[in-house]
Amino acid sequence: MELQNIKRLAVFKMRNIGDVLIITPVLRALRETFPEARITVVVNSGTEAMLANNPHIDEVLAYERGGGGRGPLARLGYELKFVWELRKRRFDMTIGLTDGDRSAWYSLFCGARHRFGQPAYAWKSKLDPRSHAYNHPVYPPGELMHEVEKHYWLLEHAGLKLKSTKPGPLCLVIPDDLRAWVRAELAPLRPAKIVHVHPVSRWLWKCWGSAAMAETIDWLQNERGARVVVTSGPATREREHAQEIIRLCRTQPLFYDGNLSLSQIAAISAESDGYFGVDTAPMHMAAAVGVPVIALFGPTKPVSWGPWSPLAQVLIHPCLCNETNREACDWKQVRACLAEITVPEAQAALDQMLARSKSSSSS
């Protein structure tokens, strides 16, 4: 499909933090394809940091889920105001990268001439207004592929021809002031190798055992002479889980107890010699800033959600959870599929990561 005179383009990705970051390769491709267009990305509030200073877009528009907890009338008012914000931008084209109703409705209501997207259901009835949300619909591929590749696949199979057909790296910009801040923060730890460890996720069923994580942190500091920086998200459950790991440590890693912004966490990764942690947004952030990544996976599929980086290694054991998409394995505090990953396995992977870091720094 040849699209001409596209001057205003909206991309919808109304999901979580990591989901927003992994659309950045396709944003780069859209900029290459439509170099003169004004590109707006619509995201959920709280995820905007993943696109801050991104050179391939012009604007980020944040949607406040739940209307800020207001009553029904105020919520309706917020929704109408948000639709007006979309309509006054007069988009020529919208691209829905979220497989849900909200992106579809907003694509329809904003009045764009071309609307690309993945319907959430098999909308077959012509009487169902949702069937008209996307006039360039495409259903997901029948094979497993990484979400980064899936974005390209969806647009190409909807008829949009991108100039770049192969996805490049993720893009996460660390501004100079944050670079200066984190270098000052980590200066007391140098000249030792620094490993950034983010051991928690908002979904605690993605977490490795606390004792195993603490043992690995101690091994890094005692046996390998590295210094470990531990970060956590701000949610109470995440902080409590991270605090438990710190209590089990015999050494004293530098610990940021949920008090860093997303951009600061990304800056920690960018100035470290490697990242070690679970399947969560900071894992994608570390991949985006170009450091070696070792990621612990359990129920989720790395083929779809693994770190998008040639410097990444995934530790995973097969399980009914990650083979069938069912919550099938037994677990009390840690899923069996995660508990199967041993400390020696993690140590071997970290040894390889530190060796690569040593050779690259000496070359």
Angle in degrees, CA 25, 133, 79, rounded to 5:
85
Same domain flag for 187 and 307: yes
Q: What is the pLDDT confidence band of residue 361, given thresholds at 50, 70 and 90?
A: very low
User: What pLDDT was estimated at residue 251?
Assistant: 98
- Tell me the residue ranges of DSSP E strands in 199-325: 227-231, 254-256, 274-278, 293-296, 312-315
Record the pTM: 0.92
Same domain flag for 98 and 199: no
- The answer to whether 163 and 29 are in contact (CB under 8 A) is yes
What is the C-alpha separation between 168 and 43, in angstroms, rounded?
Answer: 21
pLDDT tens sequence across 280-304 = 999 999 999 999 999 999 888 899 9
Backbone dihedral angles phi then psi of residue 195, each to the nearest 5 degrees: -115, 125
User: What pLDDT was estimated at residue 359?
Assistant: 46
Cross-strand pairs, 296:
278, 315
Question: Is residue 215 a part of any domain in this protein?
Answer: yes
Q: Once rounded to an integer, what is the mean pLDDT over residues 257-263?
A: 97
What is the C-alpha separation between 246 and 214, in angstroms, rounded?
Answer: 7
What is the C-alpha separation between 26 and 112, in angstroms, rounded?
Answer: 20
Question: Is residue 169 a part of any domain in this protein?
Answer: no
184-190 long-range Cβ contacts below 8 angstroms, 24+ apart: 185/268, 186/229, 186/268, 186/271, 186/272, 189/227, 189/229, 189/254
Sign of the Cα pseudo-torsion (113, 117, 121, 122, in order): positive
As a whole-number percent, the residues of the chain with pLDDT over 90 amount to 69
127, pLDDT greater than 80: no
Quote the number of domains for the chain. Answer: 2
Same domain flag for 246 and 153: no
**SS3 for 91?**
coil
Question: Is residue 3 a part of any domain in this protein?
Answer: no
Question: Is residue 304 a part of any domain in this protein?
Answer: yes
Give the burial string for 130-144 (b: 16+ CB within 10 Å, else e).
ebebbebbbeeeeee
User: What pLDDT was estimated at residue 352?
Assistant: 94
Question: Is residue 168 a part of any domain in this protein?
Answer: no
Nearby residues of 334 by Cβ (< 8 Å), 6 or more positions away: 207, 208, 209
Question: Is residue 171 a part of any domain in this protein?
Answer: no
Q: Once rounded to an integer, what is the mean pLDDT over residues 231-257?
A: 97
pLDDT tens sequence across 53-79 = 999 999 999 999 876 567 888 888 888
What is the C-alpha separation between 18 and 262, in angstroms, rounded?
Answer: 11
CATH number reported for the structural domain that contains residue 351 in this entry? 3.40.50.2000
User: What pLDDT was estimated at residue 337?
Assistant: 81
Write the single-letter amino acid at 228: V
Same domain flag for 218 and 137: no
